Amino acid sequence: DAGITQSPRHKVTETGTPVTLRCHQTENHRYMYWYRQDPGHGLRLIHYSYGVKDTDKGEVSDGYSVSRSKTEDFLLTLESATSSQTSVYFCAISDQGTGNTIYFGEGSWLTVV
């Protein structure tokens, strides 16, 4: 298994509160991604990073921000959580050295009540 750790794995929070999900990798991969998955929508890209301090938006970036101050950590922040952000969040990593194969973490289940 790729060295990807997501935390927390499960969280329940209230509407309007800030939430930060952490993705930590031990593979020294250049690229890191955050996806969300909802019933009927498959996997949708939120943000991705192509290096330290280099990030870009994905398909569904509204309401989310990210930061990458170290190669190994990619943080996803919901500044003010809403019920529509209840979802499963997956972190992923890739690197050209491995043919750009993307490896996924096990997911973080977030419920906003």
Binding residues for other proteins (CB under 8 A): 30-31, 33, 35, 42-45, 48, 50, 56, 58-59, 88, 90, 92, 94-96, 99-107
Q: How far is the CB of 57 from other proteins (least distance, A)?
A: 9
- Measuring CA to CA, how many Å separate 73 from each of 23, 33, 83, 111? 6, 11, 26, 23
In the beta sheet, which residues pair with residue 90? Answer: 35
CB closer to other proteins out of 14 and 53: 53
Q: How far apart are CA 33 and CA 49, in angstroms?
A: 6
CB closer to other proteins out of 12 and 80: 12
Q: How far is the CB of 22 from other proteins (least distance, A)?
A: 16
Residue 25: name the closest of 87, 104, 78 by CA. Answer: 104
Q: How far is the CB of 13 from other proteins (least distance, A)?
A: 20
CB closer to other proteins out of 19 and 32: 32
Q: How far is the CB of 91 from other proteins (least distance, A)?
A: 9
34: which 2 tokens? 């955050």
Q: What are phi and psi of 89, to 5 degrees?
A: -110, 130
